[in-house]
A and B are shown apart, each in its own frame.
Chain A
Amino acid sequence: MVEADALVSAREEVLARLRAARDAGAPRGGVPPTPREYRRVGALAAGSAEVVDRLEETVTEYRAVVFRAAGPGDVPAVLASVLEGVGSVVVPPGLPTTWTDGLAVTVRRDDPPLSVPELDGLDAVLTGASVAIADTGTLVLAAGEPDQGRRAITLVPDHHVCVVDAAAVVSSVPEALARLDPTRPLTFVSGPSATSDIELDRVEGVHGPRRLDVVLVGPPRA
């Protein structure tokens, strides 16, 4: 073993084993091309009133709370009611200041980055989202987007308020992935933190934010 280690690196040996195995077990007749007959585009048009309504349903089923804002101009007023009673909120460096200017809340901008204990001392986090998937009730946060920021800020505070523009809402998982850049860290969020580890019953609220509020910005209910 020692001798072999000295002669051949683990990398070379694992790759050599896998090459031999790849050939020994190669399917007679080769591997057929991957059939991609599944739906690439979902039933509801991206950004439509219908797809936003469906997102509201699926997000609500995960016991997140949904608020509607008729347009960008209504966001500050909706946020004021969502954040009523909240003492402090962290926001990513590029979050529109118009969203937070009138809030009766201590707003901490994550610029320069706050320490983990500082984040732990804040009540809530307010961000945007890159994409939302109506089929599954999922919000996707892309790290480094100006209105989404670092991953830690949406993780440590116990209450996440996420503003989703109708233009970011798609029907299906394939449509969402096509819009995302895989080289930056992504977080797919479907409802508040939950576990099914006790008798396979879903219970909300473990290590991630225990409260998730979603503000949908766009056309009124269809």
Chain B
Amino acid sequence: MSSTDLGMPTTAPDGVGFLRGSEPFPAAAHRALADTQLRRNLGHATRTIRAKRAGVVAEVPDWEELRRAGEAIKADTMARLPELLEQLEASVTARGGVVHWARDATEANAIVAGLVRDTGADEVVKVKSIATQEIGLNEALAEQGITATETDLAELIVQLSDDRPSHFLVPAIHRNRSEIRDIFLRAMPGVDPDLTDDPRRLAMAARAHLRRKFLSARVAISGANFAAADTGTISVVESEGNGRMCLTLPDTLITVMGVEKVVPRWSDMEVFLQLLPRSSTGERMNPYTSTWSGVTPGDGPQTFHLVLLDNGRSNVLASEDGRSALHCIRCSACLNVCPVYERTGGHAYGSVYPGPIGAVLSPQLTGISGPDDPNASLPYASSLCGACFDACPVRIDIPNLLVQQRAASIAAHRTPTAQDLAMRTVAAAMVSPGRFRAAERVLGLGRFAGRSGRIRFLPYPGSQWTSARDAPAPPAETFRQWWKRTRS
């Protein structure tokens, strides 16, 4: 790093963490679409959650006012992010916490590994945290000989099956109950061999498996849903009680938080604690929300570390429109309503941030390195139907961001694509009426049309369009021909 780079907004580094897949979205999606079990699981789960969300949102008369407040609080946060982080640091420090800053994934992993090593522990329990998945923390800890146990049920399913998360809220949404039973039977030590696929029995098995770990854990690692700058109050929103276990029983708590999770005031939680549960699990309120400020003598961990993570967020913040991707509160409503996500699932996106919000967040966090960058393909994983905007509790204009990120991905093309060439041809044809007339006459695309009047196949480069969808056949005569025939 040269000195001129200091203080400039910076993308997340390559080679650490999980912000980028290994292949473009269309290739990964093709494989996902061929998996009929996956499509059944996703279809069932997303249908269930959409109905639940719609029901609990409809009973809130001021839902739109809450959304507008949430949007504005986040915009205000971004406009003074550095100041709010300094305020948060002072509040947390005043209450006995220790604040660390991490430029990127590598640095955050090193900080956390060092803090765990200092306690002498070689085992940690973890509350579900997408930020720690983003930076590949579990893998980095394993390299240091530290075992991290995921305690959220869905995360445990993913970890036991050596899988990757595919959804914010339910990382194992791609698994159904009988697959989960099989994973438990295979990978959970001491599990009842007569375990059935009754969800209640599966939850009990997870409880029994983790109970001893919780009661004896010395170090826990969490993420954060919100952090109020004025009081230093961190919030973790959860369902199972695994969060409470991790936040309450160990001696040391390490919280890894993306810098964008800060909110200005504790009182802002009155907005987000209404927006998040209804958008996320479709409940009026999730079973458990824990909040804490620093260290409380005689209650909970007596050592608290807060790691503030950049890892590309400064790059997102530097874009006037793009920064609204940082407003995301990770509810996953946009995933659940997205016709693309519903069919491909989260793995096809490569990044730990899947779905519509992931398609605009991941490329901005990593930057787009060129036309072959898998993240360059993500903004196209959308029909721009707009359902994601309608569902977003903080009104992120995801369709608009998708279009902008498409432009960014085009700009990253070093060599012209078929689309570029086609556009240049059109531009050349349209510079004069004479050229346009000539072009119209020679097009003659009608010969590829089937009986339906749709074109199902075109030769290259038109095949890039028709491989995915039909094209309408051009009419038998052009507008000019029609005008001449009927008006002259």
Q: Is B142 in contact with chain A by the CB < 8 A criterion?
A: no
| B residues near A33, Cβ cutoff 8 Å | 72
Which chain B residues lie closer than 8 Å to A207 at the CB level? 151, 207, 210-211, 214, 240-242, 244-245
Additional 10 contacts, C-beta under 8 A, given A20-B8, A116-B249, A143-B300: A4-B3, A10-B107, A14-B101, A14-B259, A15-B82, A15-B101, A30-B79, A152-B249, A190-B284, A199-B177
> Is A187 among interface residues, defined by CB-CB distance under 8 A?
yes
State whether A188 and B288 are in contact (beta carbons under 8 Å apart), knowing that A201-B48, A205-B203, A206-B241 are contacts in the complex. Answer: yes
- Kindly state the separation between the CA atoms of A21 and B277 in the bound complex, as whole angstroms: 31
- Flag the segment in B316-324, B365-373, B405-413 that touches A: B316-324
Say whether A47 faces chain B, with CB atoms less than 8 Å apart: no
Q: Mark B172-207, 1 if CB is under 8 A from A, else 0.
A: 110011001000000000000000000110111011
- Collect the chain B residues with CB atoms within 8 Å of residue A193's CB: 239-241, 287-288
Closest to B204 in A: A205
Whether the pair B244, A155 counts as a contact (CB closer than 8 A) is yes
Q: Is the beta-carbon distance between A137 and B6 smaller than 8 angstroms?
A: no
Contact size range, B: 35 or more
Residues of A within 8 A of B66 (CB): 38
> Which candidate, A72-80, A96-104, A176-184, is the interface stretch facing chain B?
A176-184
A86 — which chain B residues lie within 8 A by C-beta? none
Number of chain A residues close to chain B: CB under 8 A? 84
Q: Tell whether, in the assembled complex, residue B310 and residue A18 are in contact, meaning their CB atoms are under 8 Å apart.
A: yes
Instruction: Say yes or no for A85: interface residue by CB 8 A criterion.
Output: no
Binds A, one of B116-124, B267-275, B425-433, B439-447: B267-275
B266 touches A (CB below 8 Å):
yes
Please give the distance in Å from A147's CB to the nearest CB on chain B.
15
- B260-302 CB mask vs A (1 if < 8 Å, else 0) is 0000001101110110010001011111111111001011100
Residues of A within 8 A of B424 (CB): none
Indicate whether B377 reaches chain A with its CB closer than 8 angstroms. no
Q: Are A186 and B170 in contact (CB under 8 A)?
A: no
Contact A189–B323 (Cβ < 8 Å): no
Asked whether B39 is an interface residue with its Cβ less than 8 Å from the other chain, the reply is no
Which residues of B have CB within 8 Å of A201? 48, 199
Mask of A18-49 contacts with B, CB within 8 angstroms, 1/0 = 11111011111011111111111000000000
